[in-house]
Amino acid sequence: MLVNKKSFVLKSAMLIATGMLLASCGSETPKDDNLSAGTDTTAAPEPTAEVEDVSYSLPSPLQIASIFKKSGLKYKDGITSTLKDPSKYGTNLSKALNLGVYSADLSYTVLNKQNQEAMNYMKLCRQMADNLGMGSVFDQGNLSKRFEKNIGNEDSLAYIIAELQMVTDMYLDENDQQQVTSIVFAGAWVESMYVGSKVYEKGKDKSLNSKLAEQMTILGSIVNALKAQEKKDPAIGGLIADLQGVKDIYDSLPSVKDHPEANEDTEKEMSLTDDEVSTLTTKIEAIRTKIING
């Protein structure tokens, strides 16, 4: 029997995501009484997905949120996306992008113990998924009910979110809708970077600064992933151009051009100036505004 390489990659990626998240939070095994039996969270080699000769490896919104949290990202009220009636989004591109935005906000609120906000975003993610014709994934393994049951238990909620994303990615892969996976992640990345930059503006935390720069390095992979799926949805073209614009700005920043890593192998962390962060934030915020206004 042939093995679907993409499905294997997605399964492996989410198992790694869960392990990384729990490790970064320094947590014990989640105490979710309804965890799927036999789930293997053993770390495997980092996967690389290949589509039309384009290789990319993308983390999940949950991983980005946990990376930012570990670097000192605090919860700031009022910066996540406003809850909006899903019917307001008229195109599949807009629906998928905003599902990504809300997924990032869901992860951010869960990891910061904002229980009511987390419940609101979980319900909205379900509604957005319904509008994309894939709401059934929330019923697999009683994910929605388990989320409600474990509200307040950060570890279990994080595990459930990771499992939900794995099921969603597998559903999209099996239904030949890989473009939706890439679009959703693009929306989640934009929202994660927006939230991270807004929190940075207040505290100027150096550790958070380096993580913002670190997450910028995956933007090229996001653009490549979208380009690989553009034939399935030509509307992606505008999104690709917007994100490429952010990448071009980042690549031209003096701190990036002068960083030793650009010339030789080094483990030195990237650090941006406040003006450079502000320049990136302005561009990312403009894209986010376009996304959330649908």
Across the chain, the runs of DSSP E, i.e. the strands, are 49-51, 54-56
- Output 64 or 124, whichever has higher pLDDT: 124
List the one residue out of 88, 64, 81 whose CA is nearest residue 208: 64
- For residue 3, is pLDDT > 50? no
Q: What angle do CA 125, 129, 132 make, to 5 degrees?
A: 145
Q: What is the pLDDT of residues 216-247, one digit of tens each?
A: 989 999 999 999 999 888 899 999 999 999 99
* Whether pTM exceeds 0.85: no
In the beta sheet, which residues pair with residue 54?
51
Do 80 and 192 touch, CB atoms closer than 8 A?
A: no
Q: What angle do CA 239, 245, 278 make, to 5 degrees?
A: 115
- Output 267 or 88, whichever has higher pLDDT: 88
| CA–CA dist 249, 258 (Å, integer) | 14
Q: What is the pLDDT of residues 119-135, one digit of tens each?
A: 999 999 999 999 999 98
**Taking the domains of the chain in order of start, what are their residue ranges?**
1-25+86-175, 185-262+270-294
Q: What angle do CA 123, 125, 130 make, to 5 degrees?
A: 95
DSSP code string of 90-110: -SHHHHHHHHHHHHHHHHHHH
- For residue 9, is pLDDT > 60? no
Q: What is the pLDDT of residues 243-276, one digit of tens each?
A: 999 999 999 999 998 876 644 444 567 889 999 9
| CA–CA dist 86, 97 (Å, integer) | 12
Do 127 and 106 touch, CB atoms closer than 8 A?
A: no
Q: Taking each helix axis from N to C terminus, what angle separates 236-252 and 274-292, rounded to the nearest 10 degrees?
A: 170
| CA–CA dist 267, 108 (Å, integer) | 28
